[in-house]
Structure 1
Amino acid sequence: MSEQKVIYAIGHRNPDTDSICSAIAYANLKRNMGCENVVPARAGSVNKETKYALEYFGVEAPQLVSDIYPRVKDIAVKVQKSVKATDNLRTLGMAMKECNLRSIPVVDDENKLIGMASVSDLAKAYFQEITLDSVSASGACINDIANVIEADVLVAGNNEGKIKVAAACMEKVAESIKAGDVVIIGNRPESAFIKCIDLKVACVIITGNTTISDEVVAKAKAENVMILSTAFDTYSTARLISQCAPISSIMTTDVISFKPSDMLSDIKGVLEANEYRNYPVVENDKLVGIVNKDKFMMPEKQQIILTDHNELAQAVEGIESGKIIEVVDHHRFGGLQTSDPIFINVRPVGCTCTIVTNMYQQYGVEIPKEIAGLLMSAIISDTVLFKSPTCTQTDKDAVEYLAKIAGVDYKEYGMAMLKAGADIGDMTPAQIVKNDSKEFQIGNYPMLISQLSVMDTDQVMAMQDEILAEMARVCTAEGYAMSIVIVTDIINEGSYLLFSGEPKNLIGEAFKQDASKSVMYLPGVMSRKKQIIPPLSEAVKSL
């Protein structure tokens, strides 16, 4: 519930090194150019290769953003004012007037929400006429009354008593006054004041700034009777005293509240079914904010900068609820549509971080050592140390430039990083199927295409049956026509293609091989972007 909403620079789901590092580096560039609320984020777990790069250069992984569906925390505002249940109604009314609020949360001494008090609650109270007897019963003391009627204390004394108004003749009033009462009296003969003192009342409230003699003051002191003087007339004083009732006497305790993490789509029905304008936001029983119903109707969209992808199927969950403001990428365009013109920097190079590096140079922004290291790591990863057919001279030049800033031998470092990423360790078939996975729409067929780069393919291919079974399960459970896993051999520069689902003849047509066994070897194939997606996109046209 920050005042300035952050802008996320974020890569695709199931992020690879380029996805993570481009988000970190581009967010840093934007902040250096004055956009201080741009922060890097990731839409999935950090893989081993990326973890190696982050730890080597001492950079923390970006925050995990699982989705950008609008939530209560996105529209909640800080609490302007809260009150206590023991505060009086005048305090409540003045707070509402001061902050221009129609309702105010009621909290205890530990800031735990215990109720809400609204203008309508106040109105009902006045229509129902809070009586002076009810004020007395509420436990309001004479000091509370003195504050409300802005009285001067002429004689200090007892602080409690039942309130009476001396509006009739004194003889009649005296019949109802008892010792310990609080009497409101206006411009009366001095004998009336003396009579009240003789009856041993607790307090005499003199209205209209009526002057009393020293004799009355002396007698009051002698009898320990408190005397207050107010400028308000008797009627107004009685009305004001009714405002001494505590907020607990009118507040609503059956309060509808929300958590910061509640999704707006989940609370929509509650808001539509109730007429309240404001709703408290509570976390761990503590009041942390307020949601206004008007804000719910037009929530501010989460602004997003897409790095290393542009297809919505690959983007963070809930992207349709956000607002894409920039795209920095090196992939094909996948039908992106926006409501407003946006900044797009898409180039046919081997890595998004190559583009980000060029932007630092273009804008004259110095690249910090650790950022240079991450940019270099991503380019080495995406181009497989320049072995991938996607690699361009621009990528090579960028790596040499960045390596000097980072102070490393990029060949030695690059092999170590690729080796760290190629270690499948105890990866399960499920993890392999989702490793560096992206969703693609190939013709009418939604596909999940994953890639795993290793130094030796034997360990992965030994799990071929289990992997294919998991791929079939994913297709059924998640609605893909096909699941494809590319197992890339970094050393021998080729890839095994595992595939499950239909149409298998699409695979055979694309790569001109027998597709009946759900696996094929593609020598020289290392790039999903340049050597897998284009043949599939062309082959589907002939089906």
Structure 2
Amino acid sequence: MSKPIYIIGHRNPDTDSICSAIAYAHLKQALGEHVIPARAGKINAETKYVLDLLGIKPPALILDMYPRAKDVMREHSITIHPWNTLRELGQLIKQYSVKSIPVVEADGSLVGMVTVGDLAERYVNELGMQDLRETGVDYAGILRCLNGTLICGGDLTCRLEGRVKIAASRTQTMGKVIKPGDIVLVGNRTNVQLTCIEAGIACLIITGGFEVAPEVEAAARAAGTYIIRAPYDTYTCGRLINQSIPVGKVMKANVTAFKPDDMVADMKEIIIRTGYRNYPVVQNGRMVGLIDRDRLIVPDRNQIILVDHNERSQAVDGIEETKIVEIIDHHRLGGMETSEPIFIKHEPVGSTATIVANMHWHRNVPLPADIAGLLLAAILSDTVLFKSPTATDKDRDAAYKLAAIAGLDIQDFGMAMLKAGSVIDKLTPGDIVASDLKEFQIGEYYVAISQISVMDQKDVLQQQAQLKAAMQAICEKEQYNMAILLITGILDEATYLLHYGQPARVVTIAFGEPCPDGTWYLPGVMSRKKQVVPPLIDAARRL
């Protein structure tokens, strides 16, 4: 299956951002596209109330989109076991045209890497027949390499400890050549076979596929000698035995490996320094994938659809490493650049959810009750029950259609949802300042504007000193010029504005002189994007 496309809203997500991502993913999935809804931050109390009420799981949390090892690795890679033979290794290399293969135990735990170079080095260093005492070869490995048949013998996991010899001389001189514990290759020469067994060899390999005489088999069983019948000629068997060495004897045990969540940017430095062709990806000691160095040079970028925002400053970290394929939004254009033309659905309505709902209807995709409830909640949240000046007739029309599908009363549902989101008892001043925070470039200044909607602003204003300290902290941490907190009253339809940073004159030019307590009281102001950001932009120009 191809990599999914992530549908994600802005950082510090609000209800519209979360619900629109889920609902747009529903539309895309219904049209047969492989998409996953996601979120770029913690879910607030209002959104949690909505999701819990409708029985919908929160979307996946993605804190950044920087490519990681798991994004560029091959999940299904070829592996080999340390007890497999060099012959089996060579067959895998030829079959799959690979240059290196991870070595794993039966449970998948990584123990090493073996390369074409390791295999070639073994053959270059090979001088005549092998002394198998040094190689760890067992009878099972020889059987596999020779495609042989075990005529008699015991435990196949026993290792061979003698030298490999070919019975090419006359019977009279065999006793001078053959030593106890050797492995002897011989054709259909019964007398030689018996002489070798009498000399105390460990294993007799009958080449050419010849049948074993009954007296030879009887002598071997009496002496405890293994007999293997091989279908190849003596010369070929001699070469194949040298390939019966286990991979574990030639592999590199000290492997440079990565974890699935390691960032590609960090990995590149290690890869340049080490220079291997392939790198295993390991989780809890077990191999889960393989990274090809060549593929890492130009990795496939994650594809992403932005909902409820279009400014880089508000997007998930690492968005510059992704490929933006769509934008669904209702805010001002924020200068986002893409590498190629993309689909954009951008309308001056009160909520992204209004756009998503109409896209369902336009494409004749039915809306189930729970998805309709999500979209309704997003519209009511963003328009503050249609009290915000951003609310349009399109929002109202969509909301009433969605309410009918979801079986919800707009007023009751909307007030319950807004009340759930206005409870601040468990919020610290830092939580309040981070609530629904969006970044804006206003003139030459970088400004963080947060907004929290409550039933009564007095509970928040009592913490003014602590809130100013939290605003100062966020400015210093994120290097903002200014931080603004909007405390919006749902019932009295007014906003108190708190400010920290410079130049303070921008706020004064936009909204006049502050109140004696240092706040700005803005009656009728409910919308950040329509009633706060535009005056600030105009003030910055005048300043």
**CA displacement at 1:429 relative to structure 2:** 1.1
Change (3 A) 1:144 1:519: same
**CA displacement at 1:358 relative to structure 2:** 0.7
Alignment-derived partner of residue 423 in structure 1: 423
Is residue 2:94 matched to residue 1:113?
Answer: no
Cα distance in 2, alignment partners of residues 292 and 281 from structure 1? 11
Cα distance in 2, alignment partners of residues 15 and 452 from structure 1? 12
Map 1:111-510 to 2 at 5 A: 111-129=108-126, 132-153=129-150, 155-157=151-153, 162=162, 163-186=164-187, 190-209=190-209, 225-510=225-510
1:412 partner letter: D
**CA displacement at 1:143 relative to structure 2:** 4.4
**CA displacement at 1:213 relative to structure 2:** 6.1
Cα distance in 1, alignment partners of residues 196 and 182 from structure 2? 9
> Is 1:433–1:467's contact at 8 Å kept on the other side of the alignment?
yes
Deviations 1:162-205 (A, max 9, x none): 23223445444421312343211347x65433432332433332
**CA displacement at 1:99 relative to structure 2:** 2.6
1:255 partner letter: V
Secondary structure, in 3 states, of the residue corresponding to 2:386? coil
1:493 partner letter: E
Between 1:461-470 and 1:360-369, the stretch displaced more is: 461-470
Change (3 A) 1:306 1:204: same
Change (3 A) 1:143 1:21: closer
Cα distance in 1, alignment partners of residues 317 and 477 from structure 2? 17
Deviations 1:69-118 (A, max 9, x none): 00000011123332221222112222222232221111223221111111
Secondary structure, in 3 states, of the residue corresponding to 2:476? helix
Cα distance in 1, alignment partners of residues 464 and 190 from structure 2? 107
Cα distance in 1, alignment partners of residues 107 and 128 from structure 2? 31
Secondary structure, in 3 states, of the residue corresponding to 1:282? strand
Deviations 1:436-483 (A, max 9, x none): 000000010000000011110101111111111221222122111110
1:344 partner letter: I
Between 1:136-145 and 1:254-263, the stretch displaced more is: 136-145
State which of 13, 19, 39 in structure 1 corresponds to 2:17. Answer: 19
2:8 partner letter: I
Cα distance in 2, alignment partners of residues 482 and 143 from structure 1? 74
2:11 partner letter: R
Alignment-derived partner of residue 73 in structure 2: 76
> Is 2:511–2:520's contact at 8 Å kept on the other side of the alignment?
no
Map 1:506-517 to 2 at 5 A: 506-514=506-514
**CA displacement at 1:425 relative to structure 2:** 1.2
Stretches of structure 1 that go unaligned for 5 or more consecutive residues are none
Alignment-derived partner of residue 85 in structure 1: 82
Cα distance in 2, alignment partners of residues 100 and 524 from structure 1? 70
Cα distance in 1, alignment partners of residues 213 and 485 from structure 2? 100
Deviations 1:382-407 (A, max 9, x none): 11101100111111111111111110
Cα distance in 1, alignment partners of residues 70 and 459 from structure 2? 46
> Is 1:142–1:161's contact at 8 Å kept on the other side of the alignment?
no
Secondary structure, in 3 states, of the residue corresponding to 2:488? strand
**CA displacement at 1:212 relative to structure 2:** 7.0
Change (3 A) 1:230 1:392: same
Map 1:90-101 to 2 at 5 A: 90-101=87-98
> Is 1:21–1:375's contact at 8 Å kept on the other side of the alignment?
yes
1:15 partner letter: P
Between 1:168-177 and 1:439-448, the stretch displaced more is: 168-177
> Is 1:484–1:498's contact at 8 Å kept on the other side of the alignment?
yes
Is residue 2:53 matched to residue 1:56?
Answer: yes
Secondary structure, in 3 states, of the residue corresponding to 1:66? coil
Number of aligned positions between the proteins: 538
**CA displacement at 1:295 relative to structure 2:** 1.6
Between 1:306-315 and 1:90-99, the stretch displaced more is: 90-99
> What is the root-mean-square deviation in Å for CA atoms of aligned residues?
2.1
1:156 partner letter: C
State which of 26, 33, 39 in structure 1 corresponds to 2:31. Answer: 33
Deviations 1:219-255 (A, max 9, x none): 6566565444434333322121011111111010010
Change (3 A) 1:161 1:475: closer
Secondary structure, in 3 states, of the residue corresponding to 2:123? helix
Secondary structure, in 3 states, of the residue corresponding to 1:534? helix
> Is 1:141–1:161's contact at 8 Å kept on the other side of the alignment?
no
Change (3 A) 1:279 1:532: same
Question: What is the TM-score when the length of structure 2 is the normalising length?
Answer: 0.94
Cα distance in 2, alignment partners of residues 78 and 125 from structure 1? 30
Change (3 A) 1:456 1:245: same
Secondary structure, in 3 states, of the residue corresponding to 1:408? coil
Secondary structure, in 3 states, of the residue corresponding to 2:131? helix
Cα distance in 2, alignment partners of residues 454 and 218 from structure 1? 96
Change (3 A) 1:130 1:413: farther
Secondary structure, in 3 states, of the residue corresponding to 2:243? helix
Cα distance in 2, alignment partners of residues 472 and 202 from structure 1? 82
**CA displacement at 1:292 relative to structure 2:** 0.9
> Is 2:152–2:217's contact at 8 Å kept on the other side of the alignment?
no
**CA displacement at 1:273 relative to structure 2:** 1.1
> Is 1:306–1:327's contact at 8 Å kept on the other side of the alignment?
yes
Secondary structure, in 3 states, of the residue corresponding to 1:313? helix
Between 1:343-352 and 1:134-143, the stretch displaced more is: 134-143
Between 1:105-114 and 1:63-72, the stretch displaced more is: 105-114
Change (3 A) 1:513 1:387: same
Between 1:104-113 and 1:7-16, the stretch displaced more is: 104-113
Alignment-derived partner of residue 538 in structure 1: 538
Cα distance in 2, alignment partners of residues 144 and 382 from structure 1? 70
Cα distance in 2, alignment partners of residues 223 and 301 from structure 1? 66
Change (3 A) 1:415 1:215: closer
Secondary structure, in 3 states, of the residue corresponding to 1:83? coil
Between 1:195-204 and 1:276-285, the stretch displaced more is: 195-204
Secondary structure, in 3 states, of the residue corresponding to 1:345? strand
Cα distance in 1, alignment partners of residues 402 and 479 from structure 2? 42
**CA displacement at 1:514 relative to structure 2:** 4.4
Cα distance in 1, alignment partners of residues 127 and 385 from structure 2? 81
Between 1:64-73 and 1:212-221, the stretch displaced more is: 212-221
**CA displacement at 1:144 relative to structure 2:** 3.0
